[in-house]
Chain A
């Protein structure tokens, strides 16, 4: 890849970054909030796709990490607690990482359908805990929280300003997504792909696939936790919805609508989902039904999702990744 090829390769990503940076100056406040929400769900969906698309592990429990991240943030930035912005974010991610590790250890032995079932059960368990432990989580009332301001030497950044929060989201989520992309290129990321294709052979060659799976599971858990933390800060509120099976359904739909075969598929899916939701919920209360039908149509007729459609239509959608065999 030399000359024109490598230049072209950087052209579209740079345009995308430039547009994203310029958005607060262009878009009205409401639209900017939508983009912000889509960014947060992009991270959630990408983390989910590392499991589903890359490792071939169908989890119905991703909301438990999202929810744990959200609730931890809610407690750290809630009434009486004065945690700094990034402190709350980092600690929430750390807590989720630990939870992910603990759950991952228990899940190590199973794969396939039992894995899907067990993740569903764990999600339900976390949901039950969130309901029952209402002293901590606020139960049905949820948790209200405040976005902490950020100290930058002489002055403070007001994170309640939409553009400030947007830029923080863009920066942190952007860097994390870049790292995820890098992760898929590392030997560890490659191992995950091979594991999906032929785990037995990989074990035979001498890889400890259980450890790889545990690392991947923990990693995606902490990413989902970070997304959950942002979600809590974004809405300044955490409810049971964050940890419910509905949230898992949502990320599953986003990921699959966008397409599991491309790294950016879930990002596209999150964007489409958020905008479609915004558009449809104005028209009808039955918008989840439309989402469900869209999902089924994609499962039936376009298993590669929207990114698969775009790829086959133009063969142009960024450089191809071999995430999907």
Chain B
């Protein structure tokens, strides 16, 4: 019973990370219809920036703030100067561009930081354990999950109560109409893309101490995030919440229940959803 609780908590922490990465991915997809292959690369860059900041300053909190900001700028630049350029060539080219970008970032990271996994240190009070369900559980994992929930709530609050949020949601639904109403949709696109990149980078920073920082980390979470947005429904934030939870727990329990098939389990789920209900749990049928 205790083991079940531990694995459940493990799953929650990973679900939190997944949600932070996939929420930006799903918003961008809903709005621009672009599946951003480089989205998880922002996550990886977030982790590496934080790692370097930690090496030079030793301040985790500084890294937690500065690294997502850097990715916000990078995301804005990518949208403005690369993605927008190929937009007129169609979705295929947009997909290919982000794919190429992910490839370059991957190779660039190997070049600058090497291929060995790097460990990240965390503030001492986060490194301790806390007693729940009669077992000592690392505080840091709870911290990760807590941050994800807090950010998710903030995002929901912003999307559903502020004017900007309303514009963003409207743009996800029908950007032509929003544009016709006199709102600068390209600017909204750029903002959401940059915000998604920052969120992804933030997830990378807090993932670093948990999963170590290595060049394969982008690909690992990218596939999981894809599964999340397929299962949850592309463009649906609520779907991303539920699907992140499902995938997070599936990954966590899959390893102990079906050690041989844990890798395949998640792909089978995605294939099943795409074949049975292609629009996902919360997606709109097109």
| Residues of A that sit less than 8 Å from B by CB | 56, 58, 106, 109-110, 112-114, 116-118, 120-122, 124-125, 128-129, 131-132, 245, 249, 252, 256, 286, 288-289, 292-293, 295-296, 299-300, 303
| Residues of B that sit less than 8 Å from A by CB | 29, 33, 35, 82, 85-86, 89, 91-93, 95-97, 99-101, 103-104, 107-108, 110-111, 219, 223, 226-227, 230, 234, 260-261, 263-264, 267-268, 270-271, 274-275, 278
In-complex Cβ contact of B274 among A118, A256, A288, A300 (8 A): A118
Q: Are A286 and B111 also in contact (CB < 8 A) when A292-B100, A292-B104, A296-B104 are?
A: yes
Cross-chain contact B267 with A128 (CB below 8 angstroms): yes
Chain B's closest residue to A60 (CB) is B99
Question: Nearest Cβ in chain A — how far from B221, in angstroms?
Answer: 13
Q: Are A114 and B274 also in contact (CB < 8 A) when A128-B263, A132-B260, A303-B89 are?
A: yes
7 closest A-B pairs (Cβ-Cβ)?
A: A128-B263, A289-B107, A292-B104, A292-B103, A121-B267, A296-B100, A125-B267
Q: Are A106 and B271 also in contact (CB < 8 A) when A295-B100, A299-B86 are?
A: yes
In-complex Cβ contact of A117 among B35, B107, B264 (8 A): B35
Cross-chain contact A125 with B91 (CB below 8 angstroms): no
State in angstroms the CA–CA spacing of A125 and B230 once bound together. 16
State in angstroms the CA–CA spacing of A293 and B230 once bound together. 30
State in angstroms the CA–CA spacing of A290 and B97 once bound together. 15
Question: Nearest Cβ in chain A — how far from B231, in angstroms?
Answer: 11
Q: Contacts of A120 on B, CB cut-off 8 Å?
A: 223, 226
State in angstroms the CA–CA spacing of A249 and B226 once bound together. 18
State in angstroms the CA–CA spacing of A144 and B230 once bound together. 39
Cross-chain contact A109 with B275 (CB below 8 angstroms): yes
Cross-chain contact B267 with A124 (CB below 8 angstroms): yes
Chain A's closest residue to B234 (CB) is A113
State in angstroms the CA–CA spacing of A245 and B219 once bound together. 10
Question: Nearest Cβ in chain A — how far from B34, in angstroms?
Answer: 9
State in angstroms the CA–CA spacing of A293 and B101 once bound together. 8
Q: Contacts of B95 on A, CB cut-off 8 Å?
A: 58, 113, 116
State in angstroms the CA–CA spacing of A77 and B257 once bound together. 37
Q: Are A121 and B271 also in contact (CB < 8 A) when A58-B96, A113-B35 are?
A: yes
A to B CB contacts below 8 Å, 28 in the list = A109-B275, A110-B274, A110-B278, A114-B274, A114-B278, A117-B35, A117-B226, A120-B226, A121-B226, A122-B271, A124-B267, A125-B271, A128-B263, A128-B267, A132-B260, A132-B261, A245-B219, A249-B99, A249-B103, A252-B96, A292-B100, A299-B86, A299-B100, A300-B85, A300-B86, A300-B97, A303-B86, A303-B89
Q: Are A299 and B93 also in contact (CB < 8 A) when A110-B274, A118-B274, A125-B267 are?
A: yes
Cross-chain contact A289 with B108 (CB below 8 angstroms): yes
Q: Contacts of A112 on B, CB cut-off 8 Å?
A: 91
Cross-chain contact B100 with A132 (CB below 8 angstroms): no
State in angstroms the CA–CA spacing of A128 and B271 once bound together. 15
* A interface SS class: helix
Question: Nearest Cβ in chain B — how far from A298, in angstroms?
Answer: 9
State in angstroms the CA–CA spacing of A325 and B96 once bound together. 18
Chain A's closest residue to B92 (CB) is A58
In-complex Cβ contact of B82 among A113, A114, A300 (8 A): A300
Interface centre among B29, B82, B270 (most CB of A within 10 A): B270
Question: Nearest Cβ in chain B — how far from A206, in angstroms?
Answer: 24
State in angstroms the CA–CA spacing of A132 and B263 once bound together. 9
Q: Contacts of A106 on B, CB cut-off 8 Å?
A: 271, 275
Cross-chain contact B99 with A252 (CB below 8 angstroms): yes
**Besides A113-B29, A125-B267, A132-B264, 4 other CB < 8 A contacts?**
A118-B270, A292-B103, A296-B100, A300-B85
Question: Nearest Cβ in chain B — how far from A230, in angstroms?
Answer: 25
State in angstroms the CA–CA spacing of A129 and B107 once bound together. 26
Cross-chain contact B35 with A121 (CB below 8 angstroms): no
State in angstroms the CA–CA spacing of A106 and B223 once bound together. 19
Question: Nearest Cβ in chain A — how far from B238, in angstroms?
Answer: 20
Q: Contacts of B97 on A, CB cut-off 8 Å?
A: 296, 299-300
In-complex Cβ contact of B223 among A109, A121, A299 (8 A): A121
Question: Nearest Cβ in chain A — how far from B215, in angstroms?
Answer: 12
Q: Are A129 and B264 also in contact (CB < 8 A) when A112-B91, A117-B35, A256-B96 are?
A: yes
In-complex Cβ contact of A295 among B85, B103, B234, B267 (8 A): B103
Cross-chain contact B91 with A296 (CB below 8 angstroms): no
Cross-chain contact A122 with B104 (CB below 8 angstroms): no
State in angstroms the CA–CA spacing of A120 and B99 once bound together. 12
Chain A's closest residue to B97 (CB) is A299
Q: Contacts of A56 on B, CB cut-off 8 Å?
A: 92
State in angstroms the CA–CA spacing of A225 and B37 once bound together. 27
State in angstroms the CA–CA spacing of A234 and B73 once bound together. 47
Q: Contacts of A121 on B, CB cut-off 8 Å?
A: 223, 226-227, 267, 270-271
Q: Contacts of B230 on A, CB cut-off 8 Å?
A: 114, 117
In-complex Cβ contact of B107 among A114, A132, A286 (8 A): A286
Question: Nearest Cβ in chain A — how far from B89, in angstroms?
Answer: 6
Question: Nearest Cβ in chain B — how far from A303, in angstroms?
Answer: 6
Q: Contacts of B110 on A, CB cut-off 8 Å?
A: 286
State in angstroms the CA–CA spacing of A256 and B92 once bound together. 12
Cross-chain contact B219 with A117 (CB below 8 angstroms): no
Q: Contacts of B267 on A, CB cut-off 8 Å?
A: 121-122, 124-125, 128
Cross-chain contact B274 with A117 (CB below 8 angstroms): yes
